[in-house]
Amino acid sequence: YGGNPIECWLPAELASQRSWEQYAESYCFVENTYYIPMEQNIPQSKKHRNEKLITYYQWVPFTLILQAMLFVIPHIFWRMLNWTANVQTRAVISMANSLGGMDIYSEEAQDILDTIANHIYRASKSNTYLRRTLQNSNLFVTVVRFFIKSYLSTIYLITKLLFSANAIIQFFIISMYLGGNGYHVTKALIQERSWQHTGVFPRVTLCDFKIRAMGNIHHHTIQCVLMANMLNEKIYIGLWWWLLILSTLTIINSFYWFYVLNSTASSFEFMTGLITLGVSQPRKEMSLRYMQFVTHFIGDPTFVLRLVAQNSGELVTSHIVTRLFDIHMSHINEELVYWYYTIDSYSLTMLFICLGSLFKH
């Protein structure tokens, strides 16, 4: 608590003994105090005194620690589920960052580009295979197929939602500490209006306690100073404004990511913008291949590439996309050749069967 959290002034008959002072201060700190402005009379009713109780000052350090821990929970959620995806996002971003200080055409840089592009391609291929095995019009199966396609994206959006909810909830908790409106408390502080006017984080409070002496119970009301409230007021005003700004920016950012991760047009524009940086062929001649390529990689691959672009820059990401495009086209060409020979072999087989049947007749 940074020293003695509470200091109380005792009547003369109790102040002479240090033990009574320690007892009174410990009791008042544990059992709470209440605030009555100096210009008002102290209520005789215990009910009215309890309505003015200040119950939070003992818990401020623990509340701040808990608030800090709550900000870590969404990050832990993302880290835990991120490792279960086919694409290892952290490894991809780390390798992409290492390309920043290299000659992009060096052998080492080319090997890293190949590793990243092949990893993303294999992950996309695995997801495509799983989706094809679920060829059913059932609603549940449709949802599962979408989730497989955008597993990482969905987890990321949930993480953003957790960050937004955490910031908003904490903002309202801080507002409760500040009496419901942090703006008015801030305004009062700027105008140098004392805490006596606002009643928020009062420095001087009252405490009631009982003493049993000589078989009789004596009631005492003493005045206490809560020194930590001077610092608590500044801390919570700063937190109120910080959480207000943080909540606003987090909500805006969440809506942005929800749009870009669910908009086919945005994904197409992002991918084509990157690939045209590294492909020398005219855009009109490549439009069909662009569409095929982007359609194939919409979902988690596009999301991972967006993260790479944010962390490593669009130039590095464009080289990765170009390499990914080359790998994709080479596999398509291999499949075309395979099907060409397969169909051709089938046609020859059928021709020989027909000729054989004719000769028999």
Blockwise average pLDDT, block size 10, the chain, 361 residues? 76 74 84 82 79 79 89 91 81 88 85 89 64 44 47 88 93 78 67 62 84 76 84 85 92 92 83 72 58 77 90 88 83 53 50 48 48
What ranges do the domains of the chain cover? 7-84+151-262
Say what the pLDDT of residue 296 is: 76
Q: Are 329 and 289 in contact (CB under 8 A)?
A: yes
Integer Cα distance of 262 and 123 in angstroms: 20
Q: Are 51 and 121 in contact (CB under 8 A)?
A: no
Instruction: Give alpha helix (H) positions in 44-181.
Output: 46-50, 60-82, 89-98, 107-132, 139-149, 151-177
Phi then psi for residue 329, to 5 deg, are -70, -35
Say what the pLDDT of residue 73 is: 93
Q: What is the pTM of this model?
A: 0.73
